[in-house]
Amino acid sequence: MVRKLSVLFLFVAIALPSAAQAKFFQFGLNEEEVKGIVKDYLLNNPEIVKEALDNYLLQEEKIRQQKMADTLKTINRTALERDPNTPVIGNPDGDVTVVEFFDYNCGYCKLMFPKVWEYVQNDGNIRWVLKDMPSLGATSDTAARAGLAAEKQGKYFEMHQAMITHEGFLTEEDIIAYAQKVGLDMDKFEKDRKDKALDNVLNANRVLANRLGFNGIPDFIIGDYVSPGAMMNDELDVNVKAFREKAAGITQ
């Protein structure tokens, strides 16, 4: 009860206009009257609630991103960026590494693919590290294993592109059809995608994602920058340039 009243008094002291404050603080005002004044004011000024909520969510997101950035400093960067079991597209010797945790059945991952791929191609000096995080059903896991199996035949990009641009959820039949379409040796493909060693690859990805506090997909890492969710507007370009400026010793 005391805590509730304290919050109400704090709100009044900050938000209400002076006339309402004067009435609020008059002698003998009880809790129900306090609630009535606050309720009336908020009903007549709903934009204050939205503004407060937006500000709260923004602050929470900043705190979350800072926690991720702090945790990133403790992560083994070799495991994150240069695990030999993790596929890389773009320029394998690029000066900037973009790490993505993704799922082939994730709608936002599908939307991000053409945007990031176009940027990677135009730039010409980016390593795009793709870490499978199958979490949207059985075929997500099947697709992840299919992509990693295709990597063993030097056909990762072709298989990845086919599956990530597939509209809607993949089926087992879709995955087999794509494997045949990109020209995989199907006997080897079947053997490789069932290899128990892939469990270790996928589990290692989950461990990294859990340590960083990711609770959805996609997630991107560029240097010290963490983007939990799809990168919006020019977020990719801004952070690639920021990484290069930092590497060159350029300070803002």
For the segment 147-158, the average pLDDT, to the nearest whole number, is: 98
| Backbone conformation region of residue 207, classed left if phi is above 0, alpha if psi is from -120 to 50, else beta | alpha
Confidence of residue 4 (pLDDT cuts 50, 70, 90): very low
**Per-residue tokens: 134:** 């199958």
| pLDDT score at 2 | 44
Residue 3 reports pLDDT greater than 50: no
List the chain domain ranges.
2-72, 77-247
Segment 94-118, tens digit of pLDDT: 999 999 999 999 999 999 999 999 9
Distance CA 236, CA 168 (A): 25
For the segment 145-163, the average pLDDT, to the nearest whole number, is: 98
Confidence of residue 30 (pLDDT cuts 50, 70, 90): low
pTM of this prediction? 0.75
Whether the Cβ atoms of residue 244 and residue 96 lie closer than 8 Å to each other: yes
**Per-residue tokens: 46:** 């709903």
Residue with tokens 């909520």: 53
Tell me what the pLDDT averaged over the chain comes to. Answer: 85
- DSSP labels for 174-219? HHHHHHHHTT--HHHHHHHHT-THHHHHHHHHHHHHHHHT--SS-E
Q: Give domain 77-247's CATH superfamily.
A: Glutaredoxin (3.40.30.10)
Residue 86, C-beta contacts closer than 8 angstroms, at least 6 positions apart: 129, 130, 131, 201, 205
Least confident of 14-28, 64-78, 80-94, 123-137: 14-28
Residue 31 reports pLDDT greater than 90: no
**Cα separations (Å) of 128 from 26, 144, 204?**
64, 16, 18
For the segment 50-70, the average pLDDT, to the nearest whole number, is: 66
Confidence of residue 29 (pLDDT cuts 50, 70, 90): low
How are strands ordered across the β-sheet holding 96-102? 88-90, 126-132, 96-102, 219-222, 225-228
